[in-house]
Amino acid sequence: MVEKLLYGMTYEQVAEKFGGESDDMGSEYDRGTAGYTSPTVTVFHVWKNPDGSRARVGFVNGKLESKTYLGRGSDPEDAGGDSPWEKEYKL
């Protein structure tokens, strides 16, 4: 499903693709690099499937910035090794 999500989509557009509101959300603050980039806040939403797999989608300024598919039994806190987190796509 994440391959059908396009960068720049709004939360509402993504929620429509998944057929409803997200099951979980969180945020991450990035101070940026002084003189080069401004601070950003990424708001992450997670949609869960009955089989235990999940999609984690990040929005910056209300637009889709990152998308990740998490297979069944994957731990979102474990970002190392052969984790599904390595399948993340970013702009």
- Token pair of 17, please? 């693709």
- Residue 74: the pLDDT is 57
> Predicted confidence band at 46 (pLDDT cuts at 50, 70, 90)?
very high
- Residue 36: the pLDDT is 87
Predicted structure pTM score: 0.74
**Residue whose C-alpha is closest to residue 15's, from 58, 52, 47:** 47
Q: Write out the CATH class of domain 2-74.
A: alpha beta
- Residue 75: the pLDDT is 55
Tell me the domain boundaries of the chain. 2-74
pLDDT tens digits along 3-15: 899 999 999 999 9
Q: Range with the lowest mean pLDDT among 17-31, 35-49, 63-77? A: 63-77
- Token pair of 2, please? 């994440």
